[in-house]
Amino acid sequence: MLNKEAKLFVISAPSGTGKSTLIAEVMRLIPTLKKTISYTTRPPRGDEKNSVDYNFVSVDEFKQLEKQGKFIETATVYGNLYGTSLETIKTSLSGGQFLIKDIDTQGALNLKKILKDRAVLIFVKPPTFMELEKRLRDRCTDSDAIIKSRLENAVKEIKESVKYDHVIVNDSLEHTVGEFKDIINGYIK
Ligand code: ADP
Ligand code: 5GP
């Protein structure tokens, strides 16, 4: 069997749409997928662990790494800095490793410019704004003000979805996981 060229699957979605849930499910179903770990200046949330969920660094450390050219792309999201490690991406892809990572729309489009066909952009839409608001409220992690800003940002993010390779709607979780898995398997198998 021919070995297909390794890809980085870049997943974007308005906050609260369900991208973390979908990524966790698809990684369970496709164990060869590896999650790339980004750098961020935001503090860990809940039971997040350093070097597992993110490399958590201070603003000074982040700026230092940026100066050293360690990042393939960086972005500021909700006031925190995020950066994707150039070395991790290059080493993994050239070693044939398929990667997955959720990245905001600015970072995703930058990665596409740099990695071209090696990056597959997948946008996940909420079924409706009302449902998005409900998921954000039910998650109980954000204040009313933050939920309002996430909903405003969602309108801008959804406009960018036309530039993505694939767009899926996270309505029924079971159905969306199946669709998501089929898209990824189309590149792997
Ligand atoms: P994101 O990573 O996009 O911010 P999460 O994965 O944290 O979103 O999901 C936000 C909330 O919505 C969570 O409480 C999650 O359990 C729930 N959720 C995810 N997908 C669905 C779905 N298809 N239907 C209903 N609730 C969902
Ligand atoms: P969170 O802090 O909730 O994990 O992520 C907030 C936002 O930052 C999400 O939209 C997520 O996709 C995005 N993000 C996470 N890592 C990176 C990264 O390395 N680069 C960019 N551009 N965005 C990222």
CATH superfamily placement of domain 8-188: P-loop containing nucleotide triphosphate hydrolases (3.40.50.300)
* Per-residue pLDDT at 3: 52
Beta strands in 45-125 (DSSP E): 55-56, 71-77, 80-85, 99-102, 119-125
Spacing, Cα 17 to ligand 1 middle (Å): 5
**Protein residue closest via CA to atom 23 of ligand 2:** 103
**Protein residue closest via CA to atom 12 of ligand 2:** 103
Contact by Cβ (8 Å): 158, 105: no
Integer Cα distance of 36 and 48 in angstroms: 15
Mention every residue, 6+ apart, whose C-beta is less than 8 A from residue 58. Answer: 41
Q: Tens of pLDDT along the chain (189 residues)?
A: 345 799 999 999 999 999 999 999 999 999 999 999 999 999 998 889 999 999 999 999 999 999 999 999 999 988 999 999 999 999 999 999 999 999 999 999 999 999 999 999 999 999 999 999 999 999 888 899 999 999 999 999 999 999 999 999 999 999 999 999 999 999 997
Domain ranges of the chain: 8-188
Q: Which of 23, 66, 103, 150 to mutate to test the pocket of ligand 2 (most atoms within 8 A of CB)?
A: 103
Residues flanking ligand 2, CB < 6 Å: 38, 42, 73, 75, 77, 82-84, 102-104, 107
